[in-house]
Amino acid sequence: MQCYKCNTIYGYGRCPTCAANETAEIAAGWQKAQFIQQTINAAEQRAHEASMLEQAAEQSRLEQERIELEQERVKELKRQTKEMREQTRIIKENAISLQEAEQKGFDTFVLTTNFLKDGVISFIRPEQPYVTQRLQDAFVRGFQKRIDDYCAMYDCYSTAFDLITNNARSIREDIIESLTKSNSNYDHSYEFLDTVFENDGVTLEYNTIYYNCKFKLNKQGVFVSTQNDLETTHEVLQKWFFDEFKLEDILSKVNTEELVTARHAGIKLKERKKEQNRVLANIKLEKKKIENEIEDLNKLRQQEETLLTQANNTNADADKNNTICKVSRSGTAVFFILTVLFGGELGIFFASIMLCCAWEWYDHPKIIASLPIEPHQKRIAELEFKKCKAQDVLKDLTAQEENAKAQAV
């Protein structure tokens, strides 16, 4: 039969070519449908993930807005609370008279000034206890009256200059004592002490300042001033302090001939010890190098001795082999001749001996050359010579080390 579609000649039944084509078309359609479905599923998955991300972003935005609103609410609550407290204070302060507020300012019994820093008798106003302007003004008037009354009774300038004088002398004596005992550079920051004075129940407090100094000890044993600073911006106070401090007089007292000689001797001793320690360190380093060199030489000698032993053993085996080889060759030749010359039982006897010699010749067929041992012996001698020289150097270094230690003591 012939298929009317594809003209294929076939027997009975359905055309196999058309059936195969139909099956292939169905399979291709199925694969295409699966691919389309997979593409749809992937697109839906991406859309779902994008939707989840958008929802998460929206939730995060809403949460941030909620937090900001909560913070604003807290700020507003704090502001209202503060206003309520101020209103409450204002209501309470309405019952306070100006005389009471002024008296409270007058009852300030601690007066603080920065005179030591700027040279101006200006008092630091205490924190205001009131919120209403009328009571604040009254409090300031009372505080100012306290200042006026105190300054009218006591001379704040004289007190301040006495304070500077006492601290200059105290610092001066401490530096002289410290430098007299010191054998090194001196670096110190002195805080002004005794800055508080009390008169008639009122405390006058000068804010403290610092004097910073540095003294360098040179190689001759002489102290030299490298820093000499007083933490104040007022030239008069600086001059007053340094006139009492007398830096040149301090240097003259700490740099007497006796002290300078003693310090110079101490410096030279330190330098000598430092040099001795350096020499000892170098000797120890050289000793360590020599000891390592001797250890390396010993290892090399052991290697050469091992090679020499192996060469000797190999040569002994070679000598034995060569002897057997020579004897067996000669024996084979001799007994071969004897076997040929003599017949009968004697010839058989010689033939048996010849076979034994031939067997040994077969087992030891050639002469083995001996290994050279002279290079190893020469190398061992060279290593021993180097080791002896290194040991001599090590002995010299040990003697130098002992001598350096004795000098250090």
Query: How much is the pLDDT for 340?
Result: 66
Q: Are residues 32 and 154 in the same domain?
A: no
Question: Is residue 263 domain-resident?
Answer: no
Answer for the pair 231, 219: CB distance below 8 angstroms, yes or no. Answer: no
Q: What is the mean pLDDT of each run of 10 residues along the chain (409 residues)?
A: 66 68 74 83 86 89 90 90 84 87 91 90 89 91 92 88 93 94 92 89 91 94 94 91 94 93 91 87 89 88 84 77 70 69 66 66 62 79 86 86 76
Last residue of a domain, one of 95, 111, 128: 95
Note whether 241 and 184 are same-domain residues: yes
CA distance 210 to 191: 5
The answer as to whether 340 is a domain residue is yes
| Residue 175 falls inside a structural domain | yes
Read off the tokens for 292: 């390592």
Q: What is the pLDDT of residue 8?
A: 67
Please indicate, yes or no, if residue 232 is contained in any of the structural domains: yes
Last residue within a domain, chosen from 255, 271, 301:
255
The residue segments making up the domain with residue 389 are 280-408
Distance CA 187, CA 175 (A): 10
State the Cα–Cα distance between residues 105 and 102, nearest whole angstrom: 5
Q: How far is 192 from 116, CA to CA, in rounded Å?
A: 10
55 and 187 part of one domain:
no
Locate 156 and state its tokens. Answer: 């704040």
Q: Which residue has the tokens 């005992």?
A: 181
Instruction: Look at residue 271 and tell me if it is in a domain.
Output: no
What does the angle CA 257 – CA 258 – CA 263 come to, to the nearest 5 degrees? 95
Same domain? 64 vs 104: no
Q: What is the pLDDT of residue 13?
A: 63
Q: What is the pLDDT of residue 360?
A: 65
Residues 54 and 152 in one domain: no
Q: Does 85 map to a domain?
A: yes
In-domain check, residue 358? yes
What is the pTM (predicted TM-score) of this model?
Answer: 0.56
115 with 251, same domain? yes
194 and 324 in a single domain? The answer is no
**In a shared domain, residues 245 and 194:** yes
**β 110-113/202-206 pair status:** parallel
Say yes or no: 361 and 245 in one domain: no
**204 in a structural domain:** yes
Q: Please indicate, yes or no, whether residues 102 and 238 belong to a single structural domain of this protein.
A: yes
Which amino acid, 352? Answer: S
Task: Specify the pLDDT at position 200.
Answer: 85
DSSP at 95: T
90 and 107 fall within a common domain: no
Cβ neighbours, 10 Å, residue 205: 15
**C-beta separation of 217 from 223 below 8 A:** yes
pLDDT at 170: 94
Q: Which of 75, 95, 115 is the last residue of a domain?
A: 95
Bridge partners, 105 (sequence order) = none
Q: Supply the Cα-derived Rg of the chain in whole angstroms.
A: 57
User: What was the pLDDT predicted at 351?
Assistant: 65
Token output for 340 = 């040929």
- Say whether both 245 and 117 belong to one domain: yes
The whole-angstrom separation of Cα 178 and Cα 180 is 5
Please tell me the total count of domains within the chain. Answer: 3
State the angle between helix axes of 133-153 and 98-106 in degrees (0 to 180), rounded to the nearest 10. Answer: 40
Number of Cβ atoms within 10 Å of the Cβ of 268: 12
- The pLDDT of residue 260: 93
